[in-house]
Structure 1
Amino acid sequence: MPRQSLAAETRRFTRRWAVALAEAVSPARQADDIERVLEPLVEDLVLAVRSDPLTRDAARDVGMALVEANFRNARSLNRTITLLGTGFVEELGELLGLDDEQLVASVAALQGAVAEGFSLALRSRMLRERHTTQAAALAAARASESRRRTSEARFRAVFAEASVGIAIVDPHGSVIEVNAALAEILDREDDACTGLPIADLIADDLPSKVRADLARLLAGETARFRTECARTGADGTLLRLDVTLSAVTGGDGEIDFLIGVVVDLSECRALEARLWHEARHDELTGLPNRKQFLERLTETEQLAGLCYVDLDGFKSFNDGLGHDTGDRLLIAVTKRLRDAADAEGVSIARLGGDEFVLLIEEDGTEADRVTHYAERTLDALAVPISIGTDEYSVTASIGVVHTAIAGASPAELMRAADISLQRAKALGRARWERYDPDRGAEEATKHELATAIPLALSRDEFVLDYQPMVTLPDPVVSGFEALVRWRHPQLGLLGPDRFIPLAEQTGHIVALGRWVLEQACAQARRWYDEFRDVPVVVSVNVAATQLREASFVADVLSALHAAGLPAGRLQLELTESAVAGDTSCALAALSELAAAGVNLAIDDFGTGYSNLAHLGRLPVHTLKIDRSFLSPIRPGGPTDPAHDKIVAATISLAHSLGLDVAAEGVETPAQVEALRVLHCDSAQGFLFGAPASADDATTLIAHRNATVDSA
């Protein structure tokens, strides 16, 4: 992502934060001044989120810095936490390089760390004030008579102005006097506190151990007492108080009085509780989130199994009707699922997006509770959901897994549930599928391959082979198609059929395709330098997912620029399905590339949804007819006049549209001869050469003027 985009959005977020804090503090401060304070803090937050794992210390330091900058009230913290959960995602979410699930988890952790740092710094500041208060009180009590009046005045000033609560207590534990801050904390008049036992003033009911510790202090056995206690305020709210009592003794060693310092922790504890709850619950639905679900999955001893629920086609629904309608649908689905799982020993969580999971415990019967609740879930979603005046039909696919089958490990259970869920999707959706260990092993291998693709890219495990493309009627090498292989450390050399479909399903095809493009352009540049007068083109396959990427055109032009390769030396091959249907976005991208000089080809023509009239509207240069067109042509075999006419008509019509025609899968001289008769422009297949290394391809280019023996 461009650095300037991140910098601009960072400044935008910093400004929003500064305005929010300017409204939260009293007396008011200028947003411009606050913005200068926040700029380095925002940089620290961005670095923390982009770290893997998230750098909690840096985020915690941001919370502490807010307190040191005198943003100490609850409104400042609340506005900061809220803005991190909304503005941070809106302004910077797409620029941080994280998927939705990673972003949600990182922001939640970020909020918690900032709040933790804020709480620690605020508590430290209060404790420093308390220490100052105690020091002043003790100094006043122990000062010599000649300085007593000065010390008393100093203590009185601290007593009156301190932001923490202070109580003076007699040797028997009764309150003599409280300052205004303590009266405000307790929401009582000063004189209503006088005479009360200190234990009754600070708590509703002290535990017996705490009462014993207080008794030892009053007996002179200890010099200091500290506890955190709970007290109901005058308005019924529960206060959390941090209380420290220190004994002040006279020259005879007897207690003259005690100084009590009280810090109100209520807001900090309430914030901690709220953040703890939010960290374990989904904000939209209120359900337990992935974190809490995994905790419960680990802790549950009598687990029967899981139902892994994924809504069918939710992404299209969300994209088509908008996220607001999508959120309302998810809330309605949550209610249906809660009703279906309304039983003891059955809990439900939202893992993210449109994924839910039911955790089902054993109930001591022989009944199959897991499949029972899978059926109940499907039944619950069978009735259309009303949103406003509209009704929507919703279906779900469910992966069912039993603990006894898949094993007790939470990781094994989740992997098994995901495998069975994907099978339910593949078999038509709107159904549940039970985990089968035998079938699961095969699916697990696919899953492991799919998830290993990013790491394999970083380890340079992928390599390119090159298959020659030749001109007709005289077969002379005109280029090479770049074909990717995976040198897997355990499974050996894997062909594209083993991993390309998986890459397309997971979206890894975008990064893999970008790598193939860059490597192929770099190799083509080496051929261009070595054989400047030989017009060799390198052809690269492009998946439909790549074509839909907003950065696709930029990726292609960047690869050409990095390699220094003329655009005319690159050909991109697209399948019919990639350009079928609504091609407005594809047409714009292809037109831009064609205008830049890149050659475009339709691959495997005859196996998809396109027709020649449709392709005539696209800026393509070449039509590559599928090998199935040539399979009926066998040496010495009977000809099929109808088939020959179809192939001839296809080639003729393509030529009339200004397209070159290339034949794939050419394996016999008879096929070459038939293609010559039909005026096919070029060919590719094992007859002319199998995919080979770049070195072997280089050797072939060096001998390109030699006629390839097709007899």
Structure 2
Amino acid sequence: MDQVSQHLPGAGAAVGHDVLTGAESFARMWAAAVIGTSYVPMTRAEVVVHLHCLTDQLVEALFANPFRAAVGYQVGAKLVEAHFTGTESLSRTIHLIGDELLVELGVVEDERMRSRLAALQGTLAAGYAQALKERTLREQEAIRQAVLDARDHAEAALRASEARFRAIFSEAAIGIGIADLSGHVVDANPSFLDMLGFTAAEMRSRNVVRDFMHPEDAASVWRLYEELVRGERDHYRVEKRFYRNDGEAVWTHLTVSLVRDDRGEPKYQLAMVEDVTDRHLLQNRLRYQALHDPLTGLPNRALFLERLQRAFNTTTPGARVGLCYLDLDGFKVINDSLGHDVGDQLLVAVGRRLDESVSGPGRLVARMGGDEFVILVEGTSGTQDVVDVADRVLRSLENPVRIGGHELSISSSIGIVERAVEGTTSADLMRDADITLYWAKADGKSRWALYDPERNAREVARFTLSATMPAALERGEFFVDYQPLVRLDDSTIAGVEALVRWQHPEFGRLAPDRFIALAEETGLIVPLGRWVLRAACQQARAWLDAFGECAPFVSVNLAVRQSRDPGLVADVRRILDETGLPATHLQLELTESAIMDTADEPLEALRALSEMGVRIAIDDFGTGYSNLAYLRHLPVHELKMAGSFMEGLRAAEGADPVDAQIVATLVSLAHALGLTVTAEGVETAAQAERLRRIGCDSAQGWFFARPGSPADIERLLAR
């Protein structure tokens, strides 16, 4: 036990003493429970000492690091070695260990200890069973040898052999029966009679084939029996159920041996029967615990996966299967705010509602862990079967759950997958159900989402782009196109907007709407934006060298995350210095919502850029909710009107008067604030002419030119 204290959490003298005291107390309880269940050649004090030693081994295993469940196997074997072989000895030992050991040690709330204890219970039962089986086999071999001795030495030692056989036959702890080849019972020992509840006379009137066949016996049991009575085998061992005289079932390990006469012909059959009912029930109990969630009592992940795999192993043509994968919306908030006890009670209530609302033939409700549940629907005829199940689940959770004075409203998000078994796997089904659950969450919760292969393909492509984007920047897969900003009074090019593109090796040429949002999410927008800014400034410098005063300024879009980057001003200053581009030839565009939501520190950055000479423009103006009074205090030089305002100016026969008035008002407002105005999305000559008459300064759109390469811009400048 000195070693135990070394493994105790926060090992100290006080904790170690408590464990020692608890172990000693448990050993006394153990002795009191098992004394009288078996014939043991020890005094009560010796029994206590022996069980105290075994308790020490169990306690040391519980606290050992690493944990070794095999210690339980050794303890089970030592119980058999000490002659604790009665039917009640193992049952009382397993129940007492499970109910009292952690209590005596003071660690009943420790989940790790409870898990370890369950493992030790299982290995103790296995060790006990193996040791008892080996002892039984030794007894069986002794009995068989006695039978053979009776045959081989019939004349020389008939009386001694008969005495030995009778002693073993009568006193053996296992049941023994002798029958002729037609199956009629010739004799049975007291253990066998007690096991099945018959008298000797009743047993001799029985036929082993007619009276002891159980309806659930495997066909192999009786095939082996027929081979034995024909003399084709000398013995066989099986696990078999018998009916007692009172109708109850008894689980046994049955060994049947053939006894031949002097000529080697089959004469009798000898059955040796060990009652393993308690062990069988214990194994069933342990299996139930291993395959069910201890909190809700529902099947757990292991049992669910077992049933799911069985559904995929079917040979039924055209078989289909469906899954509802669900978790509770907002469960973490309830768990964190009201405590784990309330959270656990909520899970129990939800599990009960799910089981009551959807359980039935071909269906399995299981808890996967945490607040996640899954419903398996076998033998579906189509997607609607699983959708109906999901709708019932959502309805079952509509009413609040009352727990400890709290009325808790709950809902669930559900991912649905339904398909033919052929052509897919259980792993594919689980993966797609998990993906679909994520969609249901993303789409607003308290709903179900159906698996869509096209949406999944888009999600996979989106993930691929996100994962490959950093390397793409290093490999030079990005490039910049430019679209002219044209003065409306003389149709000359005032500037160009830099528009980044991605030449993806798999997906081809990608526009910004395919990857800019991803860059924002991953944080790559800052290095990507820096790269675009440098490329645009280098190109603007080249045009300044080639075209002088006719060279356009370059307008670069600035993402929200870039505008809040502490290094923005330093980056712009360094790039302008490196490229030699005057600050007046650079314009930075921010969206209306981004610039209106700008906090003090980013706003100071924009003011610093403006003081350097960099132009600041508000992109897509008019689509947000601008505070017009606040606008006059921002370091802004230009408004770029959103293309949606151009729709009413498109028609050749006349402009929409409302749209025309809105555009005129915006232009007038901008000019009153000392700002220039550029109209976006101009596609017709009528739009351009109406904007010119309104007084708009410049415009861009397909009417003037689509985004193109630097060479395309140079041709326009030269022309």
Per-residue deviation at 1:183?
0.7
Per-residue deviation at 1:626?
9.0
Q: How far apart, in 1, do the equivalents of 2:96 and 2:64 lie?
A: 20
1:177 correspondence with 2:169: no
Q: Any idea what the Cα deviations from partners look like across 1:121-141, whole Å, max 9, x if unmatched?
A: 332222222222222343344
Given the superposition, is the C-alpha separation of residues 420 and 181 from structure 1 closer, same or farther in structure 2, using an over 3 Å criterion?
Answer: same
Letter in 1 for 2:326: V
Per-residue deviation at 1:209?
6.9
Aligned runs of 1:67-466 on 2, under 5 Å?
Answer: 67-68=80-81, 70-72=83-85, 73=87, 76-77=90-91, 79-80=93-94, 83=97, 112-143=122-153, 145-170=155-180, 173-200=183-210, 202-204=212-214, 214=225, 217-218=228-229, 223-224=234-235, 226-249=237-260, 251=262, 258-301=269-312, 302-303=319-320, 305-318=322-335, 325-342=342-359, 345-361=362-378, 363-365=380-382, 367-387=383-403, 391-401=407-417, 403=419, 408-422=424-438, 424-425=440-441, 429-434=445-450, 436-438=455-457, 440-441=459-460
Letter in 2 for 1:80: I
Higher CA-based Rg:
2
Q: Any idea what the Cα deviations from partners look like across 1:189-215, whole Å, max 9, x if unmatched?
A: 222212433434643578887557546
Letter in 2 for 1:289: N
Contact 1:6–1:95 (CA<8 Å) still a contact in 2? no
Q: 2:414 aligns to what SS in structure 1?
A: strand
Given the superposition, is the C-alpha separation of residues 18 and 421 from structure 1 closer, same or farther in structure 2, using an over 3 Å criterion?
Answer: farther
Q: 1:278 aligns to what SS in structure 2?
A: helix
Given the superposition, is the C-alpha separation of residues 186 and 404 from structure 1 closer, same or farther in structure 2, using an over 3 Å criterion?
Answer: closer
Q: How far apart, in 1, do the equivalents of 2:341 and 2:434 lie?
A: 28
Gaps (5+ residues) in structure 2?
37-43, 313-318, 469-518, 524-598, 613-629, 631-719
Per-residue deviation at 1:376?
2.6
Q: Any idea what the Cα deviations from partners look like across 1:99-136, whole Å, max 9, x if unmatched?
A: xxxx9988766655554444333322222222222223
Per-residue deviation at 1:304?
5.0
Q: Any idea what the Cα deviations from partners look like across 1:290-336, whole Å, max 9, x if unmatched?
A: 01211233333444543222123434544665655544433321232
Q: 1:307 aligns to what SS in structure 2?
A: strand
Aligned to 1:634: 608
Letter in 2 for 1:430: S
Contact 2:69–2:120 (CA<8 Å) still a contact in 1? yes
Given the superposition, is the C-alpha separation of residues 16 and 308 from structure 1 closer, same or farther in structure 2, using an over 3 Å criterion?
Answer: farther
State the Cα RMSD in Å: 5.0
How many pairs were matched up?
464
Given the superposition, is the C-alpha separation of residues 378 and 215 from structure 1 closer, same or farther in structure 2, using an over 3 Å criterion?
Answer: closer
Q: How far apart, in 2, do the equivalents of 1:33 and 1:126 lie?
A: 23
Given the superposition, is the C-alpha separation of residues 352 and 169 from structure 1 closer, same or farther in structure 2, using an over 3 Å criterion?
Answer: same
Per-residue deviation at 1:276?
3.1
Q: 2:160 aligns to what SS in structure 1?
A: helix
Aligned runs of 1:28-47 on 2, under 5 Å?
Answer: 31=48, 33-44=50-61
Given the superposition, is the C-alpha separation of residues 17 and 433 from structure 1 closer, same or farther in structure 2, using an over 3 Å criterion?
Answer: farther
After superposing the two structures, state which structure 1 stretch, 275-284 or 15-24, moved more: 15-24
Given the superposition, is the C-alpha separation of residues 408 and 199 from structure 1 closer, same or farther in structure 2, using an over 3 Å criterion?
Answer: closer
Given the superposition, is the C-alpha separation of residues 163 and 380 from structure 1 closer, same or farther in structure 2, using an over 3 Å criterion?
Answer: same
After superposing the two structures, state which structure 1 stretch, 1-10 or 327-336, moved more: 1-10
Letter in 1 for 2:389: Y
Identity over aligned residues, as a percent?
A: 34
Q: How far apart, in 2, do the equivalents of 1:278 and 1:11 lie?
A: 29
Q: Any idea what the Cα deviations from partners look like across 1:260-286, whole Å, max 9, x if unmatched?
A: 322223333333333333332323433
Q: 1:139 aligns to what SS in structure 2?
A: helix
TM-score, length of structure 2 as denominator length: 0.53
Q: 2:9 aligns to what SS in structure 1?
A: helix
Contact 2:311–2:321 (CA<8 Å) still a contact in 1? no
Letter in 1 for 2:202: A
Per-residue deviation at 1:76?
3.1
Given the superposition, is the C-alpha separation of residues 2 and 110 from structure 1 closer, same or farther in structure 2, using an over 3 Å criterion?
Answer: closer
Q: 2:157 aligns to what SS in structure 1?
A: helix
Q: How far apart, in 2, do the equivalents of 1:323 and 1:25 lie?
A: 39
Q: How far apart, in 2, do the equivalents of 1:108 and 1:445 lie?
A: 45
Given the superposition, is the C-alpha separation of residues 60 and 401 from structure 1 closer, same or farther in structure 2, using an over 3 Å criterion?
Answer: farther
Q: How far apart, in 1, do the equivalents of 2:357 and 2:180 lie?
A: 62
1:22 correspondence with 2:31: yes
Q: How far apart, in 2, do the equivalents of 1:631 and 1:382 lie?
A: 50
TM-score, length of structure 1 as denominator length: 0.53
Contact 2:30–2:96 (CA<8 Å) still a contact in 1? no
